[in-house]
Structure 1
Amino acid sequence: MKFVSALVVLAAFAAADAQSSFKLDGHEIQQVLADDKLYHQYFNCVMDKGKCTPDGQDLKDHIPDHLNGGCANCTPERKERAKTLVRFMVAKKNNDFEEFEKKYDPKHMMRKQYGQ
């Protein structure tokens, strides 16, 4: 019985984590995109070129969710933030986005799903 209870608790934590949303809200995302230094801190984190803040690590940890099935467990807000990030990078930081695609998304799934 204890084993079953432990499994239920673990499943609850896993479900809560799958539904967690990127800690930066839409307004803060716009601030990151408007500040080149801050943008590059996040980009360097995601690309394993620099240290990660907790928010940067959260962003990095959820990249596979967006590549595997369009992030079915993501909140609508997380999907909207992903679309904002991808569209920004495609339009204004295309070299960074191409580097990102080489590392994480050689099939261009995010560009197809969230791009312009």
Structure 2
Amino acid sequence: MYYSLKNSLITMKLLIVLALVAAALARPDDSHYDEKYDNFNIDEVITNERLLKNYAHCLIGDGKCTPEGNEFKKLLPEATKSNCGKCTDKQKVHVAKAIKAIKEKLPTEYETLRSQIDPEGAHAEDINKYVAKYAP
């Protein structure tokens, strides 16, 4: 009986350890942003000036935000400084298209946003290269 109880405890401990390892492995990869944004319809936003303006004002902080807009707003400073280092390939294209559209269609909002995110202009050249590469 003692042997059986001891084996049961060992088995239970092993199952708990395996469950913890499985939970740790199942956690989202922190090296990339959530892939759910890979399917975000950026073309709908950049071709609709009202939507584009709403997103721009959300990012600036003087407009209402959609749930996605709030998430983008949180990620924007890090993405700017890292040249979108945690973005998936699709997200890099989405971000470049958005930057290009805001810069071309809403220059006042672009300048406000740029001055908030990069007040010294330290990343301006990198941003221009990034946009040229992913949204030619």
Q: Map residues 55-74 of structure 1 onto 2, 5 A cutoff.
A: 55-74=68-87
User: Are 1:113 and 2:130 matched, yes or no?
Assistant: yes
1:20 to 2, 19, 34: 34
- Equivalents in 1 of 2:37, 2:50: separation in Å? 19
- Give the secondary-structure state (helix, strand or coil) at the position aligned to 2:84: coil
Greater CA radius of gyration, 1 or 2? 2
User: Are 1:45 and 2:45 matched, yes or no?
Assistant: no
Mark the CA change 1:111 to 1:97 in structure 2 (over 3 Å): closer, same or farther.
farther
Mark the CA change 1:72 to 1:103 in structure 2 (over 3 Å): closer, same or farther.
same
Unaligned regions of 5+ residues in structure 1, if any? Answer: none
Deviation of 1:98 after TM superposition, in Å, equals 1.0
Normalised TM-score (structure 2): 0.64
Tell me the percent identity. 21
Task: Determine if contact 2:59/2:69 at 8 Å carries over to the other structure.
Answer: yes
Normalised TM-score (structure 1): 0.73
Unaligned regions of 5+ residues in structure 2, if any? Answer: 1-16
Runs of at least 4 residues of structure 1 off by over 6 A? none
- Equivalents in 1 of 2:29, 2:38: separation in Å? 21
2:89 to 73, 76, 89: 76
Q: In the TM superposition, what whole-angstrom CA distance separates every residue of 1:65-89 from its partner, at most 9, and x where no partner exists?
A: 3222212221001101111111112
Q: CA-atom RMSD, angstroms?
A: 3.0
Task: Determine if contact 1:21/1:75 at 8 Å carries over to the other structure.
Answer: yes
Task: Determine if contact 1:22/1:58 at 8 Å carries over to the other structure.
Answer: no
Q: In the TM superposition, what whole-angstrom CA distance separates every residue of 1:1-23 from its partner, at most 9, and x where no partner exists?
A: x9xx59x74x934627x331463
Task: Determine if contact 2:102/2:109 at 8 Å carries over to the other structure.
Answer: yes
User: Are 1:99 and 2:116 matched, yes or no?
Assistant: no
